[in-house]
Amino acid sequence: MVLVHKGRELRWTLGRERFEQMSEPLLRRLRAPIERALRDSRLQPGQITHLVLAGGATRMLLFRKLAARLFQRLPIVQVNPDEVVAHGAAVQAGLKMRDTALDDVVMTDVAPFTMGVEVCETRGGMIARSGLYLPIIERNSVIPISRSKVISTAVDNQADIHIRIFQGEARMVGENIALGQIEMSVPKAPAREEAVDIRFTYDTSGLLEVLARRVAGDEQPHRLVIRGAAGSLTPQEIEARLKALDGLKVHPRDQAKNQAVLARAERLYEERLGDERAEIGQLIDRFRFVLDSQDVGAVAAFRTELIAWLDRVDHSFFV
Which of the 8 DSSP states describes residue 88?
H
Least trusted range by pLDDT, from 139-148, 222-231, 268-277, 294-303: 222-231
Average pLDDT (125-140) is 89
Enclosing H/E stretch for 249: none
Domain-located, residue 91? no
* Residue 243 covered by a domain: no
- Are the CB atoms for 305 and 284 separated by under 8 Å? no
Tens-place pLDDT, residues 106-122: 667 888 899 999 999 88
Proportion of the chain above pLDDT 70, given as a percent: 95
What distance lies between CA 46 and its chain's CA centroid?
24
Find the CATH number of the domain harbouring 222: 2.60.34.10
- Residue 3, H or E segment: strand 2-5
Q: What is the pLDDT of residues 31-50, one digit of tens each?
A: 888 888 888 888 888 888 88
Report whether pLDDT(199) > 90. yes
Question: Residue 11 belongs to a domain with what CATH number?
Answer: 3.30.420
Residue 221's contacts (CB-CB under 8 Å, 6 or more residues apart) are 211, 212, 213
How far is Cα 194 from Cα 215, in angstroms, rounded to an integer? 8
In a domain, 88, yes or no: no
Are the CB atoms for 271 and 313 separated by under 8 Å? Answer: no
Mean pLDDT score, 263-268: 91
pLDDT digits (tens, 9 = 90+) for 50-106: 888 888 888 888 888 888 888 888 888 888 888 888 888 888 788 777 777 766 766
Q: Are residues 45 and 147 in the same domain?
A: no
Q: Is there a domain that residue 237 lies in?
A: no
pLDDT band of 227, cuts 50, 70, 90: confident
205 lies in the same domain as 265: no
Last residue of a domain, one of 62, 83, 104: 83
Question: What φ, ψ does residue 73 adopt, rounded to 5°?
Answer: -160, 155
Distance in angstroms (rounded) separating the CA atoms of residues 89 and 91: 5
Lowest-confidence segment of 43-47, 176-180, 281-285 by average pLDDT:
43-47
Residue 125 has pLDDT above 80, yes or no: no
Q: If residue 217 lies in a helix (H) or strand (E), which one and from where to where?
A: none
Residue 76's domain comprises 2-83
**CB-based burial label for 145 (10 Å; 0-12, 13-18, 19+):** buried
Does the pLDDT of residue 266 top 50, yes or no? Answer: yes
> What does the chain come to in residues?
319
Residue 247 lies in a domain: no
The half-sphere exposure of 191 on its side-chain side, counting CA atoms within 13 A, is 11
Chain mean pLDDT for the chain: 86
Structural domains of the chain, count: 3
In the prediction, which pLDDT does 232 show? 60
Residue 137 in this model has a pLDDT that exceeds 70: yes
Q: What is the pLDDT of residue 319?
A: 47
